[in-house]
Amino acid sequence: MTGSVAYLDHNASAPVKPAVRAAVAAALELCGNPSSVHRHGRLARRTLQRARAQVAALVGAKPEQVVFTSGATEANHLALLGVGCRRRIVSAIEHDSVQSVDPQAVQVPVDADGLIDLGALDVMLARDEGRAVVSVMLANNETGVIQPVAEAARIAHRHDALLHCDAAQAPGRIALDMASLGADLLTLSAHKIGGPQGVGALVLGPAVEVAALQRGGGQELGRRAGTENLPGIAGFGVAAELAPEDLASPVAARRDELERRAKQALPTVAVFGDAAPRLGNTSCLAMPGVGAETQVIALDLAGVAISAGAACSSGKVKTSRVLLAMGVDPALAACAVRVSLGPATEAWEIERFLAAWLALSGRTAGEQPTRVRAQ
């Protein structure tokens, strides 16, 4: 799919899996509308419901709890605006699609490792200002730091608040169970797990309901109007079913090797969040004195695809808001890039990244990387 390019930007969008591509093509052959009662409509609806069950199973939910959306951004908006809570409390390192919902939302600080301050959350919720919805992502898209969502949920519930969790980066990288997390609402995205772009889901807790932001038809049990994106949803379902298989990949060993060799060749390299639990595929690192945009462009020319922070800003490269919230010096934060691996990432891709990246500093990658057998 990516040819001879070392594609190390899986947190932005993962390559579509072959079985997903086949599911999308099969769904495109169906001409019926899932809402129609005739034979063609019933066939389309069967495909829709199969995908709903596949996505629900990924997080240990029931099919009727799944609301399909156009992506994680819409799911986040539906969660935070649809539950009817006037108070919104979000962690300072949430994705822009959460941060932008309510500019007046209370920000929960994080520590230098990028972990939410649970004590501060408790104090904020103790203020008697009406029922709140709290949004805490499961794993940060830039640093990979895994948040203590279950603990945050317990605190939220103690104060009669709802807990929303953006889990877009988690499937296939860590085990995922909605009940164990204690989340009342959970956001998922297809294209982070080898599914098609333009489709996501909001999974509701058993006792949670949302008011539709889009009104018109009665699709998605009245929670989201508009004819469903059947091909995208069919692909999402297959990607969700396949995601747990990725948990066995050697991606963490490859990431650790990348960081070890980068630090060995260039001791001034900073790796952010490495003292906290992280996704095994993600590394956020900075080369002091070399801007992120310069690094991204140079590596692109060398056949390596990485990103500078979140890849959701219309191609813009700007200093990471996440790193600033962690207390990172702005000058150093401006030099940070994100390298995110996938289950099929090979040793030669790590080697190419190190050679091209370290060349910017005048250093070399040195020893050959430890060979980790792909599974």
- Catalytic residue ranges: 312
Q: Which of 87, 175, 176 is nearest to 135 (CA)?
A: 87
Tell the residue number behind the tokens 């998605």, with chain if given. 220
221 conformational bin, left if phi > 0, alpha if psi -120 to 50, beta if neither: left
* Rg, the chain, Cα only: 21
Query: Which residues lie below 8 Å from residue 103, measured CB to CB, with a gap of 6+?
Result: none
Sign of dihedral through CA atoms 217, 218, 220, 223?
A: positive
Residue 208, judged by CB atoms within 10 A of its CB (0-12, 13-18, 19+), counts as middle
Tell the residue number behind the tokens 């994100």, with chain if given. 338
Query: Which residues lie below 8 Å from residue 210, measured CB to CB, with a gap of 6+?
Result: 67, 78, 79, 82, 83, 185, 202, 204, 223
Element containing residue 356 per DSSP (H, E): helix 347-359
CA triple 287-293-294, angle to 5 deg: 65
